[in-house]
Amino acid sequence: MQNLFLLLFAGYIGGLLLPLCFPTKPAVQNILAHGSAGLASGAGILLGVTGLFAPEPWTASVQSTIPFLSFAVRLDSLASLFVLTISLVGLVASIYAIGYVTEFYGRASIAALGALFNGFLLSMTLVVIADNGFFFLIVWELMSLLSYFLVVTEYEKAEVRYAGFFYLVMTHVGTAFIILAFLIFFQAGGSFSFEAFRHPEQPLPEGIRTLVFLMALIGFGTKAGIVPLHVWLPYAHPSAPSHISALMSGVMIKTAIYALVRVYFDFLGGQFPWWWGFIVLVIGAVSALLGVMYALMEHDLKSLLAYHSVENIGIILLGIGAGMIFQTYGLTEFAALGLLAGLYHTINHAMFKALLFLGAGSLLYATHTRNMEEYGGLLRRMPWTGAFFLIGAVSISALPPTNGFVSEWLIFQSLFLSFHLPTVLLKFMLPLAAAALALTSVLALACFAKAFGISFLALPRSSHARLAEEVPITMRIAMGLLAVVCVLLGLAPMVVVPMLDRVVTPFAGQSIEGKVLALDGWALAPVNMEFSSLSTPVLALLLVALSMLGLGLVAAFGGLVKQRYYKTWGCGINLTPRMEYTATGFVQPIKRVFGAIYQPTVKLETELLEESRYFAKRRHFEFHIEPVFQKYLYDPVVACFIGMAERLRVIQGGSLHLYLAYIFVTLIVLLLFAV
Amino acid sequence: MLQAIILVVAQMIVLLAVSPFLVGLIRKVKARLQLRRGASVLQPYADLAKLFRKQPVVSTTTSWIFTATPYIVFASTLAAGLLIPIFVSITPLDFAGNIIAVVYLLALGTFFLMLAGLDAGSSFGGMGSSREAIVASLTEPAMILSIFAIALTKGSTNLSTIVHKTALLEGIATDPSPYLMALAALLIVALAETGRVPVDNPATHLELTMIHEAMVLEYSGRYLALIEWAAGLKLAVFLSLIANVFAPWGIATTLAPTAMGIGLLAYLLKVSGLAVLIGILESMFAKLRLFRVTDLLGVAFILALLGLLFFYILRS
């Protein structure tokens, strides 16, 4: 394992440095950077798999001269799972990037882009295997900064700079809370090593543990994008180049999920009051619902996908929250199930979200716009991209027999097991969370019917879409790989569940593989066949067989009459793209029904013809959604800071003498304290 | 194994055969209540046979989604039907999916219908898809909650277990109110999901008021036949679900031939009764405005919630 890790390390570092040796040849830089990253992530995949099945965690460390800091790594099953996920998406993103970054030749430095890409992947891998709090914070910060630089790749655009700045501020607020949480552990254990975090010399008092819980929730929650700390995400993720967006939405936000599981179940030993799990559950439900609702109103394809990341983080937290609640009441079997379901969804989301972002990148590559209203009819021009995007869309909409469905189904089952809980409040709230999940998933379905339908079907809505061409082969291979992974994750839960079980067992104290899998792995049956069962391979076979039956019925009852092609009836005139339903029109009923949440403002100005007021000469339509969180939560805080800064400005005299006086006064005050 | 396959095929044939009949029966009831004689209840069979033989016209604007959708919708709806007990309480395919899988299989069909509605590029299809999106969104939470209320009383989310236990009178709650609430909620959901008055009007001739019919407006020939058959199947699925979950009496709990014969007869009687009820309901109410549908489905949600609450309060 050591060799694999060194190969991974060398690969990423090589990808970081090698392109810099060829300063004038972007094509060479591209191949070197992304080839090297591909190699390293390939090693990462092997590392993850061997780590998952290793009997003992692999550890290694290099001591440093800085006190409390040691570059210690530890690859236990939880870390291995995330290394595997990061590397898999990393590999695909590397293949994709070879084709995709040709876009940036001459516009941005490919060497810099490639170096940042490699550094970003390396830092994410190190985050999940770090075994020392200090080291963790360093690589965490590195990950944040590198992703910031990647976000501002197209820094010449003002909105990109704004997105980058917003991200930078938010991520540092989050990091501040993480540092506080780690300092509390440090105080108790006297060391930054994770082993000391796990087993402090004297156990943390209850109040302090609660403080750690909240700090970690806010700190890591900011990175994960939970509501209301999600506001930066829909700005930052879409602004980055698409393969970076795929990494950020697919895996970077998952490092926060990793860290939450690590802190709650590992460091705090899975001992918590019921309301911790309840808070996580409520945050999960709210994030899921608001995430998908805001996604529905987005017509910028990449922003839409970014909001779906908020939604899916919410779904993951529903599983983890349910697991935490069960853990409180000693129902370890169900706790393991909830955690397992949450982690299953974590992997699934990494795969289909990366796939969808790569698909969106392909559309951007082909049409040079992110506005969905300018797409249309792309399935005919880009059949491969379209088919892969459809697989991603079906997966994220949790439709059987795809991977998204399997993990959401498991989360449903763990929420339904709530009738074993002793308190009526929880018995009642968990099914409500299930109802929220149902609403979320059906709204996601509507959202992706819109995203796919408006982008890929019907007539092209602009010349961009009319002139679009299929993307280069490397980009198609990358998307195809992810599509295959999505399908496999759905059809082969018997392979995935034992892997996840190895991750969950140490935390929940119980292996549930035998309880989740039934019929030699052909069916999922938590907790037993009596309670529930699902077999996606059989469902898939059934769907194929019944489609064949449909074909057979057609042949039997009518014979295959040759079909006739004719233009769509447009009420007597020729159909034009302007007569098609738009994305805005599609979601209008939803906007109206959930008006209380959106608080939309619609402005319609009509300029009438002078001759007759029944005919309009020009119409201007505008609609906005109230950015509730920004307006009522963030703006006041920002205004407060700026106000304070304005006040403090008076001390900035601009004169050297004044500043010397300040230093002198400070010194006196300090001396007074010292006495 | 062989027995299981025969049972599955038998269940499939029953569902395929009975679904056009249910559609015809509802039409007949409505016609009689309007003092018309109405077409024969067998008319939908003739319609299907005719549609299968007709030459389909496909829009030049469309992609492969448009032609694949009828098969996907047909397959997913029928698959959902095979997961629920029809005339035998233990279905062989029960292990393949519980009630959540049934709900999501139906959603798979809805998803592709929404895409097909957008594919032809006409405004009517888009309008239908857009409306279907909001109706589906509002029914789903009510459906999941009412399902949960039922699942609770039997300690299982597997349909066969629920039906089998109820048929054998195991674990029947002393107070029927959670059941009644869930039943009322599920009935509203069924009306909405199958595109019936007061949510949608399957007999309308005005595109602007349609939901389901607008989505499938561009279909013709064999594609329309499959879509219509699938719509009938969806109706049969919901009626069977309601009939067998709330009143499984008569259903065969063993595989004895007489028991299965009685089961089949009882099933036909129950779903026909429900179809008549739907016909009467459709005649009693006018179609609601789209944005009033929200209130109706809100009521369904609250009912399901109350069912859940009643269950816990009565037990504790």
Q: Is the pLDDT assigned to residue B214 strictly greater than 80?
A: yes
Q: How does residue B174 score in pLDDT terms, banded at 50, 70 and 90?
A: low
Mark which residues 518-557 of A lie under 8 Å from B by CB.
Answer: 518-519, 523, 525, 529-535, 538-539, 542-547, 549-551, 553-554, 557
User: What rounded mean pLDDT belongs to chain A?
Assistant: 91
What are B72-94's pLDDT values in tens digits? 999 999 999 999 999 998 888 88
User: Residue A458 falls within a domain, yes or no?
Assistant: yes
User: Residue A162 falls within a domain, yes or no?
Assistant: no
Q: Give the pLDDT mean for A352-360.
A: 96
Contact B64 A589 (CB under 8 A): no
ipTM above 0.90, yes or no: yes
Residue ending a domain, choose from A573, A593, A613: A593
User: Residue A177 falls within a domain, yes or no?
Assistant: no
Distance of CA B44 to the CA centre of its chain: 17
- Asked whether residue A460 falls in the same domain as residue A601, the answer is no
Which structure tokens are listed for A100?
Answer: 């995709």
- The one-letter amino acid code at B69 reads T
Residues facing B97 on adjacent strands: A534
- Rounded to a whole number of angstroms, the distance from the CA of A239 to the nearest CA of chain B is 28
Mark which residues 396-415 of A lie under 8 Å from B by CB.
Answer: 397-400, 405, 409, 412-413
Of B76, B120, B144, the CB nearest to A458: B120
- Rounded to a whole number of angstroms, the distance from the CA of A158 to the nearest CA of chain B is 35
- Asked whether residue A420 falls in the same domain as residue A453, the answer is yes
Q: A562 to chain B: which residues are within 8 Å by CB?
A: 55
Q: Give the pLDDT mean for B59-71.
A: 94
Query: Cβ distance B190 to B200 under 8 Å?
Result: no
Q: Give the pLDDT mean for B123-146.
A: 91
- Asked whether residue A352 falls in the same domain as residue A487, the answer is yes
Q: Which residue range forms the structural domain that includes residue A326?
A: 272-593
User: Residue A564 falls within a domain, yes or no?
Assistant: yes
User: Residue A255 falls within a domain, yes or no?
Assistant: no
Which structure tokens are listed for B113?
Answer: 């219908």
Q: Give the pLDDT mean for A318-335.
A: 93
- Asked whether residue A565 falls in the same domain as residue A654, the answer is no
What are A486-545's pLDDT values in tens digits? 999 999 999 999 999 999 988 888 888 888 888 888 888 888 888 889 999 999 999 999
For residue A555, give the nearest of B222, B230, B44 by alpha carbon: B222
Q: Please name the residue of chain A whose CA is at the shortest distance from the CA of residue B150.
A: A416
Q: For residue A347, what are the contacts with CB-CB under 8 A and spacing of at least 6? A: A81, A85, A489, A496
Report the alpha-carbon distance of residue A529 to residue A561 in Å, rounded: 46
Residue A26's pLDDT is 87
**What percentage of chain A reaches a pLDDT higher than 70?**
100
Report the alpha-carbon distance of residue A104 to residue A110 in Å, rounded: 7
* Coil, strand or helix at A524: strand
Q: Is the pLDDT assigned to residue A287 strictly greater than 70?
A: yes
Residue A90's pLDDT is 96
Helix count (H) and strand count (E) of chain A?
Answer: 29, 7
* Coil, strand or helix at A297: coil
Q: A412 to chain B: which residues are within 8 Å by CB?
A: 100, 144
Contact B119 A579 (CB under 8 A): no
Q: A with B: how many residue pairs have Cβ under 8 Å apart?
A: 277
- Asked whether residue A444 falls in the same domain as residue A473, the answer is yes
Give the DSSP per-residue string, A337-390: HHHHHHHHHHHHHHHHHHHHHHHHHHHHHHHS--BGGG--SHHHH-HHHHHHHH
Of A457, A531, A577, the CB nearest to B119: A457
Report the alpha-carbon distance of residue A450 to residue B131 in Å, rounded: 12
Q: Give the pLDDT mean for A40-62.
A: 92
Q: Is the pLDDT assigned to residue A66 strictly greater than 90?
A: no
- Asked whether residue A609 falls in the same domain as residue A650, the answer is no
Of B63, B134, B308, the CB nearest to A589: B134
Report the alpha-carbon distance of residue A238 to residue A183 in Å, rounded: 34
- Asked whether residue A666 falls in the same domain as residue A542, the answer is no
- Asked whether residue A398 falls in the same domain as residue A458, the answer is yes
User: Residue A621 falls within a domain, yes or no?
Assistant: yes
What are B253-284's pLDDT values in tens digits? 888 889 999 999 999 999 999 999 999 999 99
**What percentage of chain A reaches a pLDDT higher than 90?**
67
- Tell me how far CA of residue B148 lies from CA of A288, A564, B99, B139, B311, in angstroms: 20, 47, 10, 14, 11
Q: How far apart are the first and last CA of chain A?
A: 57
- Asked whether residue A426 falls in the same domain as residue A339, the answer is yes
Q: For residue A466, what are the contacts with CB-CB under 8 A and spacing of at least 6? A: A377, A460
- Tell me how far CA of residue A31 lies from CA of A27, A111, A116, A411, in angstroms: 6, 10, 15, 42
Residue A142's pLDDT is 95
CA pseudo-torsion sign A174, A180, A183, A184:
negative
User: Residue A253 falls within a domain, yes or no?
Assistant: no
CB atoms within 10 A of CB A508: 25
- Asked whether residue A602 falls in the same domain as residue A614, the answer is yes
- Asked whether residue A332 falls in the same domain as residue A424, the answer is yes
Q: Please name the residue of chain A whose CA is at the shortest distance from the CA of residue B99.
A: A532
* Coil, strand or helix at A221: helix
What are A304-316's pLDDT values in tens digits? 999 999 999 999 9
Q: For residue B69, what are the contacts with CB-CB under 8 A and spacing of at least 6? A: B112, B113, B115, B116
**What percentage of chain B reaches a pLDDT higher than 90?**
63
Q: How many domains does chain A have?
A: 3
What are A357-386's pLDDT values in tens digits? 999 999 999 999 999 999 999 999 999 999
- Asked whether residue A539 falls in the same domain as residue A661, the answer is no
Q: How many domains does chain B have?
A: 1
Residue A67's pLDDT is 81
Interface contact A449, partner B, CB < 8 A: yes
State the best of A568, A574, A587, A591 to mutate against chain B, taking most chain B CBs within 10 Å.
A568
Q: Which residue range forms the structural domain that includes residue B25?
A: 2-315
Report the alpha-carbon distance of residue A124 to residue B60 in Å, rounded: 48
Q: Is the pLDDT assigned to residue A556 strictly greater than 80?
A: yes
Query: Cβ distance B105 to B97 under 8 Å?
Result: yes
Q: For residue B9, what are the contacts with CB-CB under 8 A and spacing of at least 6? A: none
User: Residue A282 falls within a domain, yes or no?
Assistant: yes
